[in-house]
A and B are shown apart, each in its own frame.
Chain A
Amino acid sequence: MTIPREAVEIDDAALIERSLDEPEIFATLFDRHAPLLHRYVTRRLGPGEAEDIVADTFLTAFQHRGAYDRSRGDARPWLYGIASNLIGRRRRAETSLYRAYVRSGVHPAELSGSPVEDGVNTLAVNRPLALALLELSPADRDVLLLVAWAELSYQEVADALAIPPGTVASRLNRARLQIRRSLSREGE
């Protein structure tokens, strides 16, 4: 479920460049990317943390916009990279969320009103997945979820985390293997 990227006249890089002279333009970048970034953070940390992480991500980005590589038209890797760092500082909140889900079968975003998944089948899959996410190393989990939930390409994940594409591939393979093992363990 993705919102189609806005068909706007200028790309993120041009927008960031303009914001150097007209800082208020930067709010457009927020309007463009904050809704899905918020969703990504909510999935990982819960709705309570998402607002803070989103605000801090864009404030950090604003402060460092002068160093943005303007050959990259899409700012999502940059923004999700900053967010990944911030999420990394709240590792305990993330593991608590997965643990709570394993216990209760309820993601906290469900509590705030919007129904999430229901049904025994979904739970039967999601519980072992949450357990598997808990067992991953933070670095592997970052790569896996940037691909699966933020829908970044290998190259974009490499840009986001400032690691070589080869490292992205090896972390992803390792993480997928672990996920598959967990699911088949559950199925036995």
Chain B
Amino acid sequence: MDELKTMWQAIPPATPEELAGARGRLLQGMRPRRRVVTGPRLLAAAAVVAGLVVTPSIAGTPAHAVTRNADGTVQVTVNELRDPAGLEAKLAETGVRADVTFLAPGTRCAAPRFASVDGTYDGAPVADAGELRTLVAGARSSAAVQVTSVRTIRISPGAMEPDETLVVEFRDNRNPRQPWRLGAWLARAGTPVQPCAPVTDGR
């Protein structure tokens, strides 16, 4: 057995240079999962509702409108991505504290801007896209905001706790059939929401 132990024993352990390729492959292999799990996680494309006809915006149509439904939910129509402060003011009138951002195509807000109430914005990493879907589906942020058509969202104030801020980011999608993509999350009560610093979205 001793003969076998000493057989080719002089072969040295690998040097960092010899291992650089394998280490690089490991780091590369670790990356795709991280791309799935980092950053804001609730980016819903405006749903294309079957049979829905998208009418081009007509001169004189307001950029956005806010109405309260009989069941206590709030309907928001977004025709044009301008005047975020005006939309915030309209939402405040219905009792919804909101932080609204309109983004140019191919950009997103640098994260993190705030601490969210659930894992949908800044939670611990998840293993894959399936786990991510489960997390998002069960999150309070998802219950608070739903995309109901290509131009409308429904806010459920009942899903919000007092003093929580609804953070919504609309990104111009450059597509009349899906005019924008929405990111919507709840920021923890009493915590600040930083202004959006737009960055190019490489994802």
Contact = CB atoms under 8 A, between A and B. Distances in A.
Interface of A: 1, 3, 20-21, 23-24, 26-27, 30-31, 34-36, 38-39, 42-43, 50-52, 54-55, 58-59, 62-63, 66, 107, 109, 114-117, 125-126, 129-130, 144, 148-149, 176, 179, 183
Given A24-B30, A62-B30, A38 B18 contact: yes
Given A1-B9, A107-B8, A115-B10, A23 B33 contact: yes
Contacts of B127: 66
Contacts of B33: 23
Secondary structure at chain A's binding surface: helix, strand, loop or mixed?
helix
Nearest to A112: B18
A30 B12 contact: no
Interface string B1-19: 1011101111111110011
A34 B10 contact: no
Contacts of B23: 27, 30-31, 34
Contacts of A52: 22
A21 B125 contact: yes
30 contacts: A1-B12, A23-B34, A24-B27, A27-B26, A27-B27, A34-B19, A35-B19, A38-B14, A38-B18, A42-B11, A43-B8, A50-B14, A51-B19, A51-B22, A58-B26, A59-B26, A62-B26, A63-B29, A66-B127, A107-B11, A109-B11, A114-B10, A114-B12, A116-B8, A129-B4, A129-B7, A144-B4, A176-B1, A179-B3, A183-B3
Interface of B: 1, 3-5, 7-15, 18-19, 21-23, 25-27, 29-30, 33-34, 124-125, 127
A39 B21 contact: no
A133 to B, nearest CB: 8
Contacts of B34: 23
Nearest to B11: A109
Top 3 A-B pairs, shortest CB-CB distance: A38-B14, A35-B13, A55-B22
A51 B25 CA distance: 10
Given A23-B34, A50-B14, A114-B10, 20 more contacts: A3-B13, A21-B124, A26-B30, A27-B30, A30-B23, A34-B14, A35-B13, A36-B13, A38-B13, A54-B22, A55-B21, A55-B26, A58-B26, A59-B26, A63-B29, A107-B8, A125-B7, A144-B4, A148-B7, A149-B5
A39 B4 contact: no
A74 B15 CA distance: 22
A38 B13 CA distance: 7
A51 B19 CA distance: 7
A116 B4 contact: no
A126 B6 CA distance: 9
